[in-house]
């Protein structure tokens, strides 16, 4: 079956709106600013950013639908036979950096690529992941349970496979640690057919709020001070390192002519680096290291 790009575009645009409304309802002070932009080669997008909120220090929920003459290297490196083809890409990307160190950062991306040619090629990609600073096992388990539930109707092998791919991708080799506690990651999803793949992508999109909001609501009233804030900023530095060194989505957006500000809004609004700093053994900060190792949370 041929891919219905407009159907995917409509769903992701609607999902952007629904997530924005829910996040605004949780926030006590800020509202989303909307920025509509055009791509130089065709198409464009809608960036929604909430800054300096009481609950969310920065949150972005971005929709894009762009076209280009040449598929960027970051999108074709796994499929070299498609290099040089023109393309169409539609996607939703969100990133939430909460103010409280006890609420994890989270990220979700859902996208559809269509590479033109005598035989057009399409595939879905995306996923969701969680990056805590002061982790709670209850939160990590509930996050993965929602991820598993989103995948379950499509086969018992989907969640383990997508989880493994997420663990492998969101890893900082120069630090020897994962970026967070994982979730789901998939790419080159084109089997068995378009409708089934799209249903799976929708299932993951619909799982985001039920997975994340309960964590926000459990931790939002935890008291924190300067020590916790400084540790959060220190760990955000690792987030920046991953996004600038390894993230294919960041590279694709820049190579595809997307709006730079909309791409780099995934960065935390503040971060710090400390030279050769390590937390005190057995401290609350030291606990995080035990979570930054791929493991079976639902085992």
Residue 62 has phi, psi (to 5 degrees) of -115, 135
In sequence order, the 6+-apart residues with CB closer than 8 A to the CB of 133 are 101, 102, 104, 105, 228, 231, 232, 235, 288
- pLDDT of 249-280, one tens digit each? 888 778 766 678 878 889 999 999 999 999 99
The answer to whether the beta carbons of residues 93 and 108 sit under 8 Å apart is yes
pLDDT band at 76 (very low <50, low <70, confident <90, very high): low
The pLDDT assigned to 1 comes to 63
pLDDT in tens, 25-43: 999 888 999 999 998 888 9
Asked whether the beta carbons of 209 and 216 are under 8 A apart, the reply is no
**Residue 198 maps to a domain:** yes
- Quick check: is 169 in a domain? yes
> Whole-angstrom Cα distance, residue 287 to residue 289?
5
At 209 the three-state DSSP class reads helix
Closest by CA to 104, choosing from 75, 144, 65, is 144
Instruction: Write out pLDDT tens, residues 212-230.
Output: 999 999 999 999 999 999 9
- Tokens 């969640």 correspond to 159
The residue annotated as part of the active site, out of 65, 107, 144, 278, is 107
Task: For residue range 227-239, list pLDDT tens digits in order.
Answer: 999 999 999 999 9
Q: How many domains does the chain have?
A: 1
CA-to-CA distance for 286 and 297, rounded, in angstroms? Answer: 19
Please report which confidence band the pLDDT of residue 19 belongs to, taking 50, 70 and 90 as the band edges. very high
Residues 6+ apart with CB under 8 A from 266: 60, 93, 95, 107, 243, 247, 250
In-domain check, residue 296: no
Structure pTM?
Answer: 0.94
Diameter of the chain measured on Cα atoms? 60
pLDDT category of residue 119 using cuts at 50, 70 and 90: confident
Q: Does some domain include residue 21? A: yes
Pair 220, 103: CB distance under 8 Å: yes
Q: Please give the residue range of the domain that contains residue 96.
A: 5-291
Distance CA 118, CA 43 (A): 23
Question: Do the Cβ atoms of 167 and 127 come closer than 8 Å?
Answer: no
pLDDT above 90 (res 78): no
* Contact indicator for 165, 189 with CB cutoff of 8 Å: no
Residue 62's pLDDT is what?
96
Question: In the annotation, is 107 catalytic?
Answer: yes
Rounded Cα distance between 289 and 279, Å, is 10
CATH code for the domain of 173: 3.40.1500.10
The overall average pLDDT reported for the chain is 93
């Amino acid at each position: 079956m041929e891919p219905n790009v407009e159907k995917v575009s409509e769903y992701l645009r609607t999902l952007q709106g629904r997530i924005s409304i829910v996040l605004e309802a949780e926030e006590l002070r800020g509202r989303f600013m909307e920025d509509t932009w055009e791509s130089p080669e065709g198409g464009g997008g809608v960036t929604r950013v909430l800054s300096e909120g009481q609950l969310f220090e920065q949150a972005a929920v971005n929709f894009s639908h762009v076209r280009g003459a040449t598929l960027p290297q970051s999108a074709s490196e796994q499929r070299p036979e498609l290099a040089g083809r023109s393309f169409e890409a539609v996607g939703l990307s969100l990133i939430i950096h909460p103010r409280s160190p006890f609420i994890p950062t989270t990220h979700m991306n859902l996208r559809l690529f269509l590479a033109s040619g005598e035989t057009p090629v399409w595939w879905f990609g995306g996923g969701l992941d969680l990056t805590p600073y002061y982790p709670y096992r209850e939160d990590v388990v509930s996050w993965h349970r929602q991820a598993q539930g989103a995948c379950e109707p499509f086969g018992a092998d989907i969640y383990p496979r997508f989880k493994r791919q997420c663990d492998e991708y969101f890893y900082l080799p120069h630090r020897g640690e994962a970026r967070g506690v994982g979730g789901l990651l998939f790419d080159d999803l084109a089997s068995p057919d378009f409708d089934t793949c799209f249903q799976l992508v929708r299932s993951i999109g619909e799982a985001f709020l039920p997975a994340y909001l309960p964590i926000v609501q459990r931790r939002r009233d935890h008291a924190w001070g300067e020590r916790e804030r400084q540790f959060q900023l220190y760990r955000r530095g690792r987030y920046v390192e991953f996004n600038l060194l390894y993230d294919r989505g960041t590279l694709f957006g820049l190579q595809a002519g997307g709006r730079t500000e909309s791409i780099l809004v995934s960065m935390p609004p503040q971060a710090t680096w400390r030279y050769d700093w390590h937390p005190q053994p057995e401290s609350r900060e030291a606990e995080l290291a035990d979570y930054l190792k791929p493991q079976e949370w639902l085992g």
